[in-house]
Structure 1
Amino acid sequence: MSGHAALHDPHDDARCLNCGTTRVGAYCHACGQSGHIHRTLGAWWHDFSHGVLHVEGAVWRTLVLLLRAPGQLTRRYIDGERRRFLAPLPLYLFCVFVLYIVYALLGAPSIRIDPELAERTGAPVEAQLARVDAAIAQGEALPGPEEQRRVSISAPGEPASTRSLAELRAERQELLRVRTVLDGLHGDPKEEIVAFLRLHPTGWGMLDRGLLRAAEDPDFLLFKLEANGYKFSWALIPVSVPLMGVLFARRRGTTLFDHAVFVTYSLSFLTLLLTALLLLARLHVPHRHLLAWAFPAHLYAQTRGAYGLSWFAAAWRSMAIMVIAAVALLVWVLLLLALGFAE
């Protein structure tokens, strides 16, 4: 070697340029970074394509097993197969993101009633109410004990029937209830709700202010609930895990980490199921609601496989977990409402 110092090449440096650890081999044993540092556009594209394909491979492997054998996926991840599958939390956040995108593009199925339809529906109700009132007046004018008086009544296109005064009065009350509902569809009840809340406050200042804001601008409250639901979707996990711990309190060798993996993978499947139901609803696929039965079936398979239970133990624990899920969802919704009502 000449007396002049050789030019320093960072590619040949045994020191990791990321964490400073002395490398043993081509990769740092401390942080995993390669010793070969490139600065070309072609190398950048290679890293990008490799990263995307690697992540996609983990995602697809995890999704396939989540749908086909959820208990096996949960058990294998708990037992240590971590690099082969996508971790539960990133998978859940990915599924929530997909649901949010589908919901933002398609929107929720509409449940509003057409006012013209309500108008057309209300006309027969008023006509039948008039006929019932006339029949009641006729029956009250008849002689004899009231319980023995019977009046003939019929609607257009229907055969006549004989009814007692008690039956006619019960039908009248039902028709009045239907008319009240239909009347509420014609107008905007917002002002009446605001007036009621002002006259009957709860006494809890923050709640009263939140209820008034919600009544005055329900669309804004819905927007806040949607935004907070997306941002705090992860909160379902810490709410559910302690309840799972209580359910499996007497089971040895089971930790809260195991329950967290179970809950997160289960929520991932449920999120994908909701996404599928939303898509099917927008496509007007018949009998789409039957797909909802996939959740209890999936929960049973995951419970039995993840915890190594018999069919009977997995069945009753699956039913208990569904109760836990309902409680966790209720707590989560109440938290979202509290955030929505807050200033």
Structure 2
Amino acid sequence: MGDFGDSIGTVIEGGLLGRAVEPTAGEVAAHAATPVDCPNCGTSHRGNFCPECGQKAHLHRSLAAIAHDIMHGVLHLDGKLWNTLPMLVFKPGELTRRFVAGERAKFVSPMAMFLFTVFAMFAVFQMVGLTAPTDLAEGFADGAGQGAGVVQTNIREQITALEKEKADLPRESPRREEIDNELKGLNTVLEKGIGAASENKGSVTFNTGSSWLDEHLLEKWKKNPGLMLYKLQSNGYKFSWLLIPLSIPFLWLMFAWRRQFKAYDHAVFVTYSLSFMSLLFIAMSILSTIPQGPGIAALLFTIGGPLHLYKQLRYAYGLNRFSALWRWFVLLVCTQIVLTMFLLILGVLGAF
């Protein structure tokens, strides 16, 4: 129940954050048939909202209204969401182009959609059990720790079994001499072999080329890999917005000679694209819980992700097939670079 409660809280947190950056214009409300005086500023007006302060004309004072506000504010259950979701999945290029062109009241803004989908994604990860392991032993990062411990345990069990077998044998049995030789070899491996192997593994470590990173970052990963993985996961959704500024420069370079596309256009493209990927990971994580689901999820990721990126790239920028295709290949490579940079940043944040 703890993970489930955390998951629900994560969804609500993402919804509230998304709602904080989402304007309310364009949402459906009951039209006031007669003039009303705004309770907030006193302006007499007709319509759904006060023209002076923007407060709603029709106010509720009931517990049902509070429940409605929670569902409406957290989950975006309004016409804007249902206009945005189908286009985000099936017509991402058109959605991006129309939003950039000024059709803002019809659709959930890119940042609001991104915040909600990312928090929902990590919440679903918790529900289905896709969380970072926290029980990794010290030395796991450089190959020692649990691996060496398992080998040592197996050797000790063999030694115990051989000693018991030897004790049950008569003194004149030739098998006793064989057991003595085996015990001698196993004790040698236990005392020197595992120690030397662990020592050698400890000396062959990852090296970033920066003594500062090696000292502060890699050492913490070696000492407590479980904690570092937990920090990596918890910082993943808190700092997921970093993927947007990390990605924009690559898109800008691909359209540097086309002055009609601004950095804002690229930001909308990236944010909607990341929102779709969050939805894709949600679908994959749910599919992975059913029989034959992991294979279907892998196929969905292999085909769905690249295809969606190509369609959004082509139709958002109005490209022909050749222009869209070569930019699509470059963008796939840039995606790997951005993810690597993002993971490095999360690693540093987790270390400090």
Provide the rounded CA distance (Å) in 2 between the counterparts of 1:320 and 1:86: 29
Q: Which residue of 1 aligns with 2:260?
A: 253
- C-alpha contact 1:16 1:28 (8 A) present in aligned 2: no
Note closer, same or farther for the CA distance 1:95–1:189 as it changes in structure 2 (3 Å cut).
Answer: farther
Which structure: larger Rg? 1
Q: Which residue of 2 aligns with 1:326?
A: 336
Q: Which residue of 2 aligns with 1:277?
A: 284
Kindly report which structure 2 residues correspond to 1:101-180, keeping only aligned pairs within 5 A, or say none. Answer: 101-108=123-130
Note closer, same or farther for the CA distance 1:204–1:93 as it changes in structure 2 (3 Å cut).
Answer: same
Report SS of the residue matched to 2:82: helix
CA offsets, 1:181-209, max 9 Å, x none?
xxxxxx999965894389x9977346413
Following TM superposition, by how much is the alpha carbon of 1:261 offset from its aligned partner in structure 2, in angstroms? 0.6
Q: Which residue of 1 aligns with 2:226?
A: 219
Provide the rounded CA distance (Å) in 1 between the counterparts of 2:117 and 2:204: 39
Matched to 2:107, the amino acid is: F
Note closer, same or farther for the CA distance 1:49–1:214 as it changes in structure 2 (3 Å cut).
Answer: closer
Q: Which residue of 2 aligns with 1:96?
A: 118
Match 1:76 to one of 90, 98, 105: 98
Following TM superposition, by how much is the alpha carbon of 1:306 offset from its aligned partner in structure 2, in angstroms? 0.6
Q: Which residue of 1 aligns with 2:308?
A: 298
Structure 2: 5+ residue stretches without partners: 1-34, 137-146, 152-193
Provide the rounded CA distance (Å) in 2 between the counterparts of 1:267 and 1:189: 47
Provide the rounded CA distance (Å) in 1 between the counterparts of 2:220 and 2:74: 45
Provide the rounded CA distance (Å) in 2 between the counterparts of 1:308 and 1:75: 9
- C-alpha contact 2:36 2:46 (8 A) present in aligned 1: no
Q: Which residue of 1 aligns with 2:84?
A: 62
Note closer, same or farther for the CA distance 1:14–1:61 as it changes in structure 2 (3 Å cut).
Answer: closer
Q: What's the C-alpha RMSD, in Å, of the aligned pairs?
A: 3.9
Following TM superposition, by how much is the alpha carbon of 1:48 offset from its aligned partner in structure 2, in angstroms? 5.9
Note closer, same or farther for the CA distance 1:188–1:84 as it changes in structure 2 (3 Å cut).
Answer: farther
Structure 1: 5+ residue stretches without partners: 1-11, 120-186
Following TM superposition, by how much is the alpha carbon of 1:278 offset from its aligned partner in structure 2, in angstroms? 2.5
Note closer, same or farther for the CA distance 1:333–1:31 as it changes in structure 2 (3 Å cut).
Answer: farther
CA offsets, 1:80-105, max 9 Å, x none?
11121111111111111221012112
**Number of residues paired by the alignment?**
260
- C-alpha contact 2:83 2:107 (8 A) present in aligned 1: yes
- C-alpha contact 2:121 2:279 (8 A) present in aligned 1: yes
Note closer, same or farther for the CA distance 1:337–1:83 as it changes in structure 2 (3 Å cut).
Answer: same
Provide the rounded CA distance (Å) in 2 between the counterparts of 1:23 and 1:324: 55
Matched to 2:258, the amino acid is: R
Farther-moved stretch of structure 1 (221-230 vs 36-45)? 36-45
Following TM superposition, by how much is the alpha carbon of 1:53 offset from its aligned partner in structure 2, in angstroms? 8.6
CA offsets, 1:252-303, max 9 Å, x none?
3211111111001111111222222233333242354221221111111111
- C-alpha contact 2:132 2:233 (8 A) present in aligned 1: no
Note closer, same or farther for the CA distance 1:190–1:321 as it changes in structure 2 (3 Å cut).
Answer: farther
Following TM superposition, by how much is the alpha carbon of 1:59 offset from its aligned partner in structure 2, in angstroms? 2.1
Q: Which residue of 2 aligns with 1:29?
A: 51
Following TM superposition, by how much is the alpha carbon of 1:337 offset from its aligned partner in structure 2, in angstroms? 1.0
Note closer, same or farther for the CA distance 1:192–1:13 as it changes in structure 2 (3 Å cut).
Answer: farther
Note closer, same or farther for the CA distance 1:75–1:192 as it changes in structure 2 (3 Å cut).
Answer: farther
Provide the rounded CA distance (Å) in 1 between the counterparts of 2:54 and 2:250: 38
Provide the rounded CA distance (Å) in 2 between the counterparts of 1:296 and 1:196: 41
Report SS of the residue matched to 2:103: coil
Q: Which residue of 2 aligns with 1:162?
A: none
Q: Which residue of 2 aligns with 1:311?
A: 321
Following TM superposition, by how much is the alpha carbon of 1:107 offset from its aligned partner in structure 2, in angstroms? 2.8
Match 2:237 to one of 224, 230, 247: 230
Provide the rounded CA distance (Å) in 2 between the counterparts of 1:340 and 1:93: 21
Q: Which residue of 2 aligns with 1:210?
A: 217
Q: Give the share of equivalent positions with the same residue, in percent.
A: 39
1:267 aligns with 2:289: no
Report SS of the residue matched to 2:288: helix
Provide the rounded CA distance (Å) in 2 between the counterparts of 1:81 and 1:235: 26
Provide the rounded CA distance (Å) in 1 between the counterparts of 2:123 and 2:108: 21
TM-score, length-scaled by structure 2:
0.62
Provide the rounded CA distance (Å) in 1 between the counterparts of 2:231 and 2:114: 22
Provide the rounded CA distance (Å) in 2 between the counterparts of 1:301 and 1:189: 55
Farther-moved stretch of structure 1 (318-327 vs 33-42)? 33-42
